[in-house]
Amino acid sequence: MLRRFSVSLEEELLEQFDAYIRERGYVNRSEAMRDLIRKEFISEQWEQDGEVAGVVTLVYDHHQAQLQEKITEIQHEYYTLITSTTHVHMDHDNCLEVIIVKGKASRIKELAERIIAMRGVKNGKLTMTSTGHHLR
């Protein structure tokens, strides 16, 4: 159920907010406010080492010696966190791998950092997300 509340803002801040939501294509202020509040809760969950979800995206050189094996080995070390992995052969030399993870924030960061730092990983990124609800 949606509940209403009113917010008072300085005129300048409101103008900035309206410009922000216009640029992002929001149809109204309420939807933009809801997303901003959730974003804050999600980042709090990550900071407080809560139960969260994330996506690790990797682009790596397929010819780098043993890299594929090492990436798989690390994933086995953290197998309880990994929901699924998708591998795409991008071109002759490069692979794209997407690893969907769920679990304790600090363990997810550790997994992501270890893989991203490997020699031959050209681009690595951890996207942090969650439901925004506190699961603790």
| CB 71, min distance to Ni ion, A | 11
| Smaller CB separation from Ni ion, 21 or 95 | 95
Residue 44 C-beta: closest distance to Ni ion, Å = 37
CA distance 34 to 44: 15
Q: Which positions touch Ni ion (CB under 5 A)?
A: 89, 95
CA Rg, the chain, in Å? 19
Which residue's CB comes closest to Ni ion? 95
Q: How far is the CB of 35 from Ni ion (least distance, A)?
A: 35
Residue whose CB is less far from Ni ion, 24 or 89: 89
CB 81 to Ni ion: min, Å: 22
Identify the sign of the CA torsion 36, 37, 42, 48. Answer: positive
CB nearer Ni ion, residue 50 or residue 124? 124
Give the nearer residue to Ni ion in terms of CB position, either 89 or 134.
89
